């Protein structure tokens, strides 16, 4: 009996092994696919869309590959020193090994890496001449974005979206209104801390048009993980068109339904926190909503921007993103909520 069971186990193992091998191969392939999928996309430091991100990418590659090679070399030497026959490993036990491996090698490697790292830091940090000036303020849990006046082009504010021209350097001046946040667009550059009372700068250039995603890279409270923003890199002419449109006051409602939405916005107290330029609601406490309908997402990069998500957001803010400053406005009737959301969506 014992023998029989033993033989069955052996059979199962014999037949099971190829299956297990296939499963392992599949798992490895899946892991590779998943990790490689992380290499490209709208939020990936491994898919640089500009020179600054490319410099950081190469620094990462050199450090990672170099570190891995040195690790393998040291581990190989260690195993050799332990397991090789004494007469063959004799050459390792001497003053020379310590001088070469313990002093000369680290000095040469680190003396190369330090200036290299400092040069990358300098090149990705300096304000560029002719750069577009944008100020971004981190708030719990959203981004206030201000475009500075430039010649005849007036300044204006927006939120949770950074639109930039392709090929022109952008200097972003960052700070925070409440706690420390960190500004990071992985495809375009490095991270920079946003510290209350302090101004930091970051310059970068987008070299291909596209949509990227920026994130807060410093834990800043409950909704830190839901503090993102869209980065839209446009061709220069399209950027100028966007800029001119954003600087204008909000359009007036052209339908009674939308006019009703605007009235609800005013009567509901939305103006105590939000500004819609061109109307009498002008508080700068929360995000500027003058052209909120033109943004890709709402809730700091959380949901696609449409009437449905806007209505859901207004009615359930504290359920969707607990801890944000905006209370849930659950008392609107369905009809009123639709009018209000449609009005906001019409603010292109
Ligand atoms: Cu803001 Cu994390």
Q: What is the pLDDT of residues 11-52, one digit of tens each?
A: 444 444 444 556 666 666 666 555 555 567 888 888 888 888
Cα(344) to ligand 1 centroid in Å equals 26
Pocket flag, ligand 1, residue 250 (CB < 6 Å): no
CA distance 341 to 260: 11
- 204 sits in which H/E element: strand 200-205
Q: What is the mean pLDDT of residues 322-343?
A: 92
Our answer on whether the CB atom of 226 is closer than 6 Å to any ligand 1 atom is: no
Is 224 close to ligand 1, i.e. is its CB under 6 Å away?
Answer: yes
User: Based on the domain organization, do 180 and 260 belong to the same domain?
Assistant: no
Question: Atom 1 (ligand 1): residue with closest C-alpha?
Answer: 181
In a domain, 329, yes or no: yes
Residue 345 Cα, ligand 1 centroid: separation in angstroms? 27
Q: Is residue 44 part of a domain?
A: yes
Q: Which atom of ligand 1 is nearest to the CA of 219?
A: 2
What pLDDT score does 6 carry? 43
Q: Ligand 1 in contact with 177 (CB < 6 A)?
A: no
Q: Residue 118's CB: how many other CB atoms inside 10 A?
A: 10
Residue-wise pLDDT tens digits, 278-325: 988 889 899 999 999 999 999 999 999 999 999 999 999 999 999 999
138 lines ligand 1 (CB under 6 A): yes
Using the atom order of ligand 1, give the atom closest to the CA of residue 181. Answer: 1
Cα distance between residue 54 and residue 35, in whole Å: 20
Helix or strand holding residue 113 (H, E): helix 105-123
pLDDT at residue 35, rounded to an integer: 58
Indicate if the pLDDT at residue 115 is higher than 50. yes
Domain enclosing residue 238, as ranges: 39-247
Look at residue 9 in the predicted model and tell me its pLDDT: 43
Count of domains observed in the chain: 3
Burial (CB count <10 Å: 0-12, 13-18, 19+), residue 92: middle
Helix, strand or coil for residue 170? strand
Q: Is 155 helix (H, G, I), strand (E, B) or coil?
A: coil
Which residue is listed with tokens 């009018």? 339
Q: Which atom of ligand 1 is nearest to the CA of 220?
A: 2
Looking at the structure, do residues 98 and 173 belong to the same domain, yes or no?
Answer: yes
Predicted local distance difference test score (pLDDT) of residue 39: 67
Domain harbouring 75, CATH code: 2.60.40.420
Residue 34 included in any domain: no
Q: Is residue 306 part of a domain?
A: yes
Instruction: List pLDDT tens digits, range 79-112.
Output: 998 998 888 888 888 888 889 988 999 999 999 9
């Amino acid at each position: 009996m014992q023998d029989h069971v033993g033989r069955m186990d052996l059979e199962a193992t014999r037949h099971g092994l190829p299956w297990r091998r296939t499963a392992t191969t599949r798992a490895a392939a899946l892991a590779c696919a998943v990790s490689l999928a992380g290499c490209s996309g709208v939020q990936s430091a491994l898919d640089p869309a500009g020179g600054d991100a490319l410099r950081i990418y190469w620094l990462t590659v050199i450090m990672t590959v170099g570190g891995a090679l040195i690790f393998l070399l040291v581990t190989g030497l260690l195993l050799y020193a332990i397991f090789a026959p004494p007469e063959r490993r004799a050459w390792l036990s001497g003053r020379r090994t310590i001088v070469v491996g313990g002093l000369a090698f680290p000095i040469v490697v680190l003396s190369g890496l330090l200036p290299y790292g400092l040069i990358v830091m300098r090149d990705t940090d300096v304000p560029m001449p002719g750069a577009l000036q944008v100020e971004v303020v981190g708030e719990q849990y959203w981004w206030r974005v201000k475009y500075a006046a430039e010649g005849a082009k007036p300044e204006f504010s927006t939120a949770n979206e950074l639109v930039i021209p392709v090929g022109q350097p952008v200097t972003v001046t960052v700070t925070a209104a409440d706690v420390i946040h960190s500004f990071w667009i992985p495809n375009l550059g490095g991270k920079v801390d946003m510290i209350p009372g302090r101004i930091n700068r970051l310059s970068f250039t987008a070299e291909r048009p596209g949509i990227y995603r920026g994130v807060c890279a410093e834990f800043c409270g409950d909704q830190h993980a839901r503090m993102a923003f869209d980065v839209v890199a446009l061709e220069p002419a399209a950027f100028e068109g966007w800029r001119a449109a954003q600087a204008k006051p909000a359009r007036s409602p052209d339908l009674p339904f939308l006019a009703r939405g605007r009235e609800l916005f005013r009567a509901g107290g939305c103006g105590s926190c939000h500004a819609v330029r061109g109307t009498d609601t002008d508080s700068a406490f929360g995000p500027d909503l003058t052209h909120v309908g033109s943004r890709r997402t709402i809730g700091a990069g959380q949901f696609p921007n449409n009437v449905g998500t806007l209505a859901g957001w207004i009615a359930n803010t504290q359920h969707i993103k607990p801890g944000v400053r905006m209370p849930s406005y659950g008392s609107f009737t369905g009809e009123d909520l639709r009018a209000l959301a449609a009005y906001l969506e019409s603010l292109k």
